[in-house]
Amino acid sequence: MPLSLGKVVHGTPRHVPEQRRTVTGISNGEINRELTSLKGMFNLPIQS
């Protein structure tokens, strides 16, 4: 399982194991649509 960086305490990075949760009943297409809309919401203020 790959490790991800956690909080940096006193200048020393602490490694925290990656956590994954499974979601049932949601298709990949629905997740992609949600991510696309979120990207649009975050990019809108940047472009203004």
Reading the block at residue 42, the tokens are 């975050």
User: DSSP readout, the chain?
Assistant: --EEEEEEETTEEEEEE------SS--HHHHHHHHHHHHHHHHHHHH-
Output the pLDDT for position 35.
94
Per-residue pLDDT of the chain (48 residues; tens, 9 = 90+): 445 455 555 677 778 888 777 777 888 899 999 999 999 988 877 766
Query: Tokens 């949601």 appear where?
Result: 26
Output the pLDDT for position 48.
61
Q: Give per-residue pLDDT as tens, 34-43.
A: 999 999 988 8
